[in-house]
Amino acid sequence: MPLCPFARTVACIAVLSALCVPLGAGFADPLRQSKKPVKEDPGTAVTVTPEMLGAGAVSSGVDLPPPPPATGTREQPVASWGKPLPYPIVIADRRNNRLIEITPDKRIVWEFPSPDLHIYRGNDDVFFSPDGKSLMVNEEDNYDIHIVDYARREITFNYGMPDRKGRALTQFDFPDDAHLLRDGSIVVADIRNCRILFIDTDKSEVTRQWGKAGHCRHDPPHAFIYPNGVTPLEGGDFLVTEIPDSWITRLTADGKVVWSLRAPHVQYPSDAYPTRDGQVIVADYVKPGGVVIFDPRTGKVTWEYRVKSGDKMLDHPSLALELPTGDIVLNDDERHRVLVIDRQTKEIIWQYGTTDQAGHGPGELFYPDGFDIDVFHDWKAALGPRP
């Protein structure tokens, strides 16, 4: 997701270089950690602003039904609801400090309000674990990440220091796009530290890293410049998105570069993802914002959505995914809505959230900054048709 949550332009990139200074002596090598004991770095306290607190700890107030078990997988999903949205969607409703799940017919079926604004605030991204039983959440401006148990709606794992940023391996400086991998470990982009971290959840420690804090340049896997996305791919590869120059890089699990190129027609890339046919889809986090699909084999754009004004205009979209129908689902952060766009007509065919109006009641969102599609829980069978 974006580095500058409420930025109106990409001008914030120009000042980011001031954040990177040379490392002090004794910091761990990017790919091999020293076994010598080191003194714990206390990090730097962060001033919490009213903007960061958002609406506080809020809820929609809806009575929630019991969640069905996780019976589907990404390879074998539960029954589809069809167009326009084939599956329910879990939304990281950032400035409402909550996760909320919406069905295709716009019922609220699951919600996780912040249990404590100190440790849980400003959830930026949310992604299901491979088995669908947990949710991986990162909080950029709270400098920590969490695992949430879906059935119990409880935090089961934390990493990072709330309201403290730093360069130690126990700290983050704007963590983004965290994912739970099949082996139970976590991969996360640490934007301002210019590194990708792999975290063992059993030991609560970093097992390896790509890049090094303070070494901000495009030279994967040895160095990255403000990486704001790291997407696991089938087969074990990763797509890494870097903000300056719109770099998208595919790396193998052991860090070998498969390809690396600048995303075409994109000013501020936000979280590149694969499409079903091997292309790449990426949101352009600007105003007016856009969504671009390009072929990495040729570097050519094959589909693009961008409208300059009116209701169809996007204002800092930060994530776009291809649905099984071929249509595009995305969050339109600063217009407080999540949309489905028809791939052929480029019309908005589904929306949750009131355009340009923040709120936390039914039908409302406040800066939705991330989402994932719930192919794991058969809410269609559990709920039945509307009365």
Virtual CA dihedral for 204, 167, 43, 161, nearest 10 degrees?
-30
pLDDT at 12 over 90: no
Q: State pLDDT tens for residues 195-225.
A: 999 999 999 999 999 999 999 999 999 999 9
Per-residue pLDDT at 310: 98
Q: State pLDDT tens for residues 140-190.
A: 999 999 999 999 999 999 999 999 999 999 999 999 999 999 999 999 999
CA proximity to 33, closest of 195, 173, 181: 195
Q: State pLDDT tens for residues 333-385.
A: 999 999 999 999 999 999 999 999 999 999 999 999 999 999 999 999 999 87
Q: State pLDDT tens for residues 100-132.
A: 999 999 999 999 999 999 999 999 999 999 999
Ramachandran quadrant class, 140 (left: phi over 0; alpha: psi -120 to 50; beta: rest):
alpha
Per-residue pLDDT at 39: 60
pLDDT at 329 over 70: yes
In the chain, the domains with their CATH numbers are 56-383 (2.120.10.30)
Q: Give the bridge partners for 99, in sequence order.
A: 92, 112
Distances (CA, A) of 69 to 74, 131, 375: 15, 11, 12
Per-residue pLDDT at 21: 34
CA proximity to 204, closest of 139, 265, 146, 158: 158
CA-CA-CA-CA torsion sign (277, 282, 283, 289):
negative
Virtual CA dihedral for 142, 143, 147, 148, nearest 10 degrees?
0
- Non-local (6+) Cβ contacts of 188 within 8 A are 138, 145, 172, 175, 176, 177, 178, 179, 196, 197, 199, 230
d(CA 223, CA 144): 22
* HSE-CB of 130 using CA atoms within 13 angstroms: 12
Helix (H) or strand (E) run with residue 53 in it = helix 50-53
Instruction: Give SS3 for 141.
Output: helix
The whole-number average pLDDT for the span 272-293 is 98
Distances (CA, A) of 332 to 233, 240, 315, 320, 355: 24, 22, 6, 9, 9
Per-residue pLDDT at 24: 31
Q: How many CB atoms lie within 10 A of CB 362?
A: 14
0.85 exceeded by the pTM? Answer: yes
pLDDT at 9 over 50: no
Per-residue pLDDT at 385: 76
